């Protein structure tokens, strides 16, 4: 096997996509999740996220609830090929029950509170990066 083949799109690495309008949130999330051994991609809006999912469905997806079309994005991904298996985290600024219920109805697997940091992301995803 050529030297560089094991890294990058390596076997067993879980794919993660962060969909958030904020460059800072995406960059911070990507840095932390990459250190946890995820293959991380970013999308700054719903159409970018959908086109990336159409090419390569991630294993995990963070969707910012403040983004226009966030709920539509979740429900659309659930109808796509492989979309039912994706673990979708609906990212909210506060634990607002109405928002959480809307996220759940759209098909979110779970929720993340914003702003997230290394401690939160490591606690939630730290042991999931390498597929068993």
Residue 67 lies in a domain: yes
- Per the structure, the complete domain to which residue 81 belongs is given by 13-120
Residue 6 lies in a domain: no
pLDDT in tens, 82-120: 999 999 999 999 888 999 999 999 999 999 998 889 999
Task: With residue 128 as reference, give the H or E element that holds it.
Answer: none
Shortest CA distance to 120 belongs to which of 92, 96, 97, 101?
92
> Among the listed ranges 1-15, 19-33, 86-100, which one has the minimum average pLDDT value?
1-15
Up-side HSE of residue 110: CA atoms within 13 Å toward CB?
Answer: 8
Pair 90, 70: CB distance under 8 Å: yes
0.85 exceeded by pTM: yes
Residue 72 lies in a domain: yes
pLDDT in tens, 50-75: 999 999 999 999 999 999 999 999 99
Q: Which two tokens stand for residue 94?
A: 């506060």
Number of domains in the chain: 1
Distance, in Å, from the CA atom of 127 to the CA atom of 28, rounded to the nearest integer, reads: 19
Residue 32 lies in a domain: yes
CATH number at residue 78: 3.40.50.2300
């Amino acid at each position: 096997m050529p030297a560089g083949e094991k890294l990058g799109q390596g076997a067993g690495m879980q794919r993660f996509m962060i969909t958030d309008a904020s460059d800072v949130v995406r960059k911070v999330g990507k840095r932390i999740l990459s250190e946890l051994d995820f293959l991380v991609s970013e999308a700054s809006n719903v159409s970018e996220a959908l086109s990336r999912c159409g090419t390569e469905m991630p294993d995990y997806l963070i969707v910012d609830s403040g983004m226009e079309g966030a709920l539509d994005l979740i429900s659309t991904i659930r109808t796509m090929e492989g979309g039912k298996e994706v673990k979708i985290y609906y990212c909210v600024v506060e634990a607002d029950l109405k928002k959480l219920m809307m996220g759940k109805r759209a098909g979110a697997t779970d929720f993340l509170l914003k702003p997230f940091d290394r401690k939160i992301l490591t606690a939630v995803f730290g042991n999931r990066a390498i597929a068993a």
